[in-house]
């Protein structure tokens, strides 16, 4: 079922800071960026292309494009790395946005009504927006401090050729387990496993690179750190098995 234009317009105004008033050609011109460059950055951020005459952009789109361009003109970012920077912003934030909208719907939406009839959805979005912006900025700054501390610990190292220990952990017999329990229980167990693994990796000063289903990929800075982390993950799997009702185990492989 399509969302009603009225509700969608209200959500867009809330999230984008105003009504759409520009086409993509106007955004590029106002930001002082070529159309090809603007279109490339838009795609790198993960957004679908729009027609030349579609009025779908706001003043915030102009300012965002101007800010991205200023990183290159100010010598902060190499022109060749501009698209990579945009992708590094767009991909994780797209996943975060999907999760956040799901949470809002689960918490607020009335299952007895179609989503397009629930104008009260806008109020929690208005309350969520400033809180999440502050939290996302805080988490990002904290991770910047952690990354800077690793760099400053070895200031002579080449950032393009750092050596890392790569580790991988997954749940043993996951396929068989997934066939024997309900979907809700399986999702709860996977979430429990991911939370346990992420906590152990963070505690040992490793970094989780990504999680896919029952799989966790992480890195550590030294072989000793990676070995300790792997052993603790294996030990944590035993705790996971005994403390969670789904009762599965985990296998940890180190590369």
Helix ranges, 121-222 (H): 122-153, 174-178, 183-203
Radius of gyration of the chain (CA): 22
Cα angle: 216, vertex 220, 221; to 5 degrees: 165
Structural domain boundaries in the chain = 5-153, 165-254
CATH class (in words) of the domain with range 165-254: alpha beta
- DSSP H or E run through 168: strand 165-172
Q: What is the pLDDT of residue 160?
A: 64
pLDDT computed for residue 249 by the predictor: 41
In DSSP notation, 20-41 reads --B-HHHHHHHHT--HHHHHHH
High-pLDDT (> 70) share of the chain, %: 81
Cα–Cα distance, 138 to 194 (Å, whole number): 22
Mean pLDDT of 84-110: 82
Q: Which pLDDT score is estimated for 121?
A: 64
Q: Taking all residues of the chain, what is their mean pLDDT, rounded to a whole number?
A: 81
User: Do residues 42 and 49 lie in contact, with contact meaning Cβ atoms separated by under 8 Å?
Assistant: yes
Question: ∠ CA 176-180-184 to the nearest 5 degrees?
Answer: 110
Least confident stretch, 9-13, 41-45, 76-80, 96-100? 9-13
């Amino acid at each position: 079922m399509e969302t009603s234009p009225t509700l969608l317009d209200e959500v867009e105004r809330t999230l984008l800071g105003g009504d759409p008033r520009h086409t993509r050609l106007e955004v590029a011109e106002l930001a002082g960026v070529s159309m090809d460059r603007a279109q490339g950055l838009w795609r790198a951020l993960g957004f679908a292309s729009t027609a030349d005459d579609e009025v779908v952009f706001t003043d915030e789109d102009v300012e965002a494009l101007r800010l991205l361009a200023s990183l290159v003109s100010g010598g902060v970012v190499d022109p060749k790395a501009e698209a990579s920077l945009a992708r590094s912003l767009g991909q994780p934030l797209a996943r975060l946005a999907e999760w956040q909208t799901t949470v809002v719907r689960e918490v607020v939406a009335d299952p007895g009504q179609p989503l397009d009839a629930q104008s009260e959805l806008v109020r929690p979005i208005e309350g969520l927006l400033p809180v999440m912006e502050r939290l996302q900025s805080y988490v990002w700054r904290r991770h910047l401090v952690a990354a800077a501390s690793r760099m400053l610990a070895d200031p002579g190292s080449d950032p393009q050729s750092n050596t890392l220990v790569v580790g991988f952990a997954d749940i043993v017999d996951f396929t068989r387990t997934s066939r024997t329990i309900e979907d809700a229980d399986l999702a709860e167990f996977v979430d429990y496993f991911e939370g346990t693994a992420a906590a152990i990796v963070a505690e040992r000063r490793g970094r989780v690179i990504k999680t896919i289903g029952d799989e966790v990929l992480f890195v550590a800075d030294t072989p000793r750190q990676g070995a300790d982390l792997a052993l603790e993950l294996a030990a944590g799997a035993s705790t996971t098995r005994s403390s969670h009702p789904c009762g599965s185990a985990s296998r940890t492989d180190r590369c």
